[in-house]
Structure formats: C-alpha cells, structure tokens
Amino acid sequence: MLVRTLCIVALVFVSWLASAQAQSGSATVWLPLVQTPLVPPPTVAGYLGSGQDDTPVAVGMKASGELVLAGVVPALAGVPETVLPGGGAGALIQIAADGRTVSRVVRVASTLAHAALAANGRVVVCGADGLIALEPDLTTIRWTATPGNVSRCAMAADGRVAALLDATRTLLVYPSTGAAPLAISIAGTAVADIAIDPTNNLVFATGYTQAAANLKVAFLRAYRMDDGSLAWQRYGVSAAAAQQAGLTADSEGRRLALGADGLLYFAGFTDGGNSIFGRDPADVSRALSRSELIKFDTYNDPSNLSGARSLAWYGRFDPANGALLRGQWLLTRLSDGKGNSITIRGLAAAADGALLIVGDAACCLPNRGAMQLFDQTLGNYEAGEPFLLLVNPEFTQRRLWTALAAPGATAGSSPAIAAAITSDRLALVARFTPNVANTRALITTGNPAFPLRIGGHDGYYLVMPRP
C-alpha cells in the first residue's frame, strides 16, 4: 500500500511538472520512477543453545533491527565470539536483522541473572558478578560494579542503572558514570522486579509482604532517585484492611516494565478472584469500574473457579503518580469451563500502548485444540507450556494469543521468559526443557540458524511482525 501511494504521488507530481514545462516552452526527458518495496520484518523461530544447559534471561531489539539476547550459553558452534574480561558462560548474543544469522557472541560474565537494553542501544547485564554497563557495540565497557549478587537490573536511556540485591531487598541506583550508588531499602518479604523512569526521576519496585500467616499482599512502590524517598505506593495494605474488604486471596507483584509510551506496566499473581487486584490500588475498599478493569470474555473474568488457581493480572499505571489507567485479569479455562492457572514472566509495551505478555500456562488457552501458528497446526497441550499474548492498547482485544508447541509434539515445562516489542515487530525468548520420552519441541520457522535443539535445556527465540 505504501509503495502504491508513493507511485501515485510521484505520477501526479510528474504530470504537473510536465504541464509547467510545456507552458514555458522547454523540454524535459523523464526517467522511470523505480520504488523498492519495503522489506517486511522477518518471521523466524528457532533454538539457541549449546550441548549443555542454556538459560535465556532477556531479549531486546535495536533500532537497526538486530536482536540482542542475554543468558547463560556455554558455547555456540561456528559463531564468532568476543570474550570480555571475566567473560564466561554469561553472554550477549546478537542476531542479525534477518532473524536467521547469529552475528556474534559477547561473553561478558561467568553467569547472568538478567539484562536490560536501553532505547539508545546501551546494555546492562547483572548476576553473581555484579553489574556491567556496555555501549551499543556490546563490547565497550562503560563501567562495572560488584555490589553482590544482582537478580534484576534496569537501564535508562540517560545511562542511569537500577539494580536489585535480592538477598537484602536493597535497590541500588547508579549514575551514568557508575559512581557510588544511592541505596534504597525496600520494605516487604520479597522483591520480584524493578524498573527505572528517567523522565519522572523515579525508580520502581514490586513484590509482596507476608501480611499474615495466611495472606500475602502485593506492593508497587515508586522512589525518587535523588534522595530515595517514597514518591507513592499502591497496594501494600495491611492484613486487617484486606480482610475487612473481603480480599483473602494471596497476591504478589511479579513483573514491571516501563513501556516505550512512557507508562508503567505491572504484572501480578493471585490465587483467587477475591484479590486486591479487583480494587483501586490506592483504596482497596473501592471496586474498580468497567473502564478501569476491562472484561470482555471468560478469559479475563475470574469466575467459575474451583480450588486455588494461580491467576494473573496486569495493568497500566501513570508512573508520575501511580494512578491505575486500566487493568485486566488473565486466566485459562478447562474443558468443563472452570478457570485455571497461568503465569506471566515477561512483558513489554510499544509506543502506541500495545502490550506483549509472555509466560507459561495450564490448560487451556482459547481454541487450544485447533490452534495454528505460521500455517502449522500446533502440537498438543502439556502443563507449563509457553504462551505469547499481544493485547491492543485499549485492552479490549487480543491481537494474538498462542502456544508454541511444535506440530506433533508438546512443550511442557518450557516457559517464555522475556519479551520485546516495537512499532512493527515482537520478540520473545523461552527456555526449552526436554523430557525423557523426547516428545517435546517448540515450533520453528523461517530457516533459523539452529532449527534443531542441541541438548539439555535449550534457549529459544521467536521474532515476527506485529499482528
């Protein structure tokens, strides 16, 4: 459509100019207009692993179209490697814009727990070796720090880095130079994830507090990066307040992401529908309205549940003040219609607010028995299979919700771990877990560099145009 429009505009311009030339008595020779069609984003899915156990932990996309994967990958046959000081199995893997060619492997640490790619292409990796901040070329080290075991990290385009010391629930905020960080102590029982917002000068943390022996309560907090003071808190209520409101289901904050739209995205867990996630995050006594909590079918309505189920919830927040802009439940359904479990492990939002969610699911996604992807009929369901969900900006439509089992196989216990999305593409990474019967496999397409798994737990990636 774009090529056709450009050609029409060019022909109109040529006709007008020819008329003008004729009126002036001059003659012009016109060369034919040749317009090269735009190349669509690739659709490629394949494995990415060594003969040993491999664990992907993050994925990002550069403006140039290249993928950057991070994880623990001991070796990749036939791929050029750059080994940085202290580099080992913890690696950054760059895949060309065609999605098929592994350009290189940059070994940055002995192991990796997480990594983050900033909008300008800079990268921070973290794990037992601490933090390493890298330039977009992935080989130039900006700075390193060794504060201890870092479980999650985030990087802003201005170079500031947030790091979570999980064991002590300490959030560190480093300046772009890597100088001495600001340390923020996070109250609660466990901290699961962090995010950083340079525009509002805030850093975020989520997790849960064991508010009573039989009740976990999620929290979402924002801290000012100049002095570490609390800017706002959502959820995080006392056991008495939750119980008084009849909210007796456990809840946890699991994942955070600052979207390309500048808004904050949150994903949580709860083991029942009588949860704080159905209420105003600033006032659990008030039920959310229909415009705040979006429901349009049984897969985002926590009804008809039987026993404890691990339900998911996600929401979009204004990072400046913590206001919930809209939220939504997520669950699966058994063949008898009863609600079942699903877990969100990664999320990413595009500039237009489209939200990509990945994780693993119990039975079953909608239309699971006849599900197709890449013109292939997917294999049968198995517990813990990976899923990909793309929700439109209004949360009123699922553009794509799919499992990833290869035809004739299953894909149990193989969660999708991290996601990335742009205006025209989406990507994910998963950790494939083989079984003794060798009946598991993930769907592949597009002639990837590694169409077959090599051995042990393997990494897996998928990149495709946005539906």
Distance CA 217, CA 190 (A): 11
Distance CA 171, CA 132 (A): 16
User: Cis peptide leading into 363, omega within 30 of 0?
Assistant: no
Model pLDDT for residues 372-382, shown as the tens digit of each residue: 999 999 999 99
- The predicted structure's pLDDT at residue 308: 81
Q: Is the dihedral of CA 292, 297, 300, 304 positive or negative?
A: positive
pTM of the full predicted structure?
0.92
Average of per-residue pLDDT across 340-345 = 98
Q: Is residue 85's pLDDT more than 60?
A: yes
Q: What residues form DSSP beta bridges with 430?
A: 416, 460
CA nearest 347: which of 260, 412, 414, 251? 260
- Is 316 within a domain? yes
- Is 337 within a domain? yes
- Is 16 within a domain? no
- The predicted structure's pLDDT at residue 50: 84
Q: Is residue 14's pLDDT more than 50?
A: no
- The predicted structure's pLDDT at residue 307: 80
Distance CA 183, CA 160 (A): 14
Average of per-residue pLDDT across 328-340 = 97
Model pLDDT for residues 302-321, shown as the tens digit of each residue: 999 988 899 999 999 999 99
Q: How confident is the model at residue 389 (pLDDT cuts 50, 70, 90)?
A: very high
Range name among 70-79, 253-262, 278-287 with the lowest pLDDT average: 70-79
Q: Is residue 108's pLDDT more than 50?
A: yes
Average of per-residue pLDDT across 419-426 = 97
Average of per-residue pLDDT across 340-351 = 98
- Is 321 within a domain? yes
- Is 89 within a domain? no
CA dihedral angle for residue 180, residue 185, residue 190, residue 195, rounded to 10 degrees: -50
Q: Which domain holds residue 389?
A: 44-50+122-465
- Is 285 within a domain? yes
Model pLDDT for residues 435-461, shown as the tens digit of each residue: 999 999 999 999 999 999 888 999 999
What does DSSP assign to residue 405?
Answer: B
Distance CA 327, CA 302 (A): 13
- Is 85 within a domain? no
Model pLDDT for residues 32-51, shown as the tens digit of each residue: 444 444 567 899 999 998 88
Model pLDDT for residues 151-188, shown as the tens digit of each residue: 999 999 999 999 999 899 999 999 999 999 999 999 99
CA nearest 407: which of 447, 380, 437? 380
Residue 40, classed as helix, strand or coil, is coil
Total structural domains in the chain?
A: 1
Q: What's the mean per-residue pLDDT of the chain?
A: 92
Q: Is residue 29's pLDDT more than 60?
A: no
**In this structure, are strands 81-83 and 102-109 parallel, antiparallel, or unpaired?**
parallel
CATH code for position 243: 2.130.10
- The predicted structure's pLDDT at residue 35: 44
Average of per-residue pLDDT across 14-23 = 43
Residue 128, classed as helix, strand or coil, is coil
- Is 99 within a domain? no
Token pair belonging to 402: 């799919």
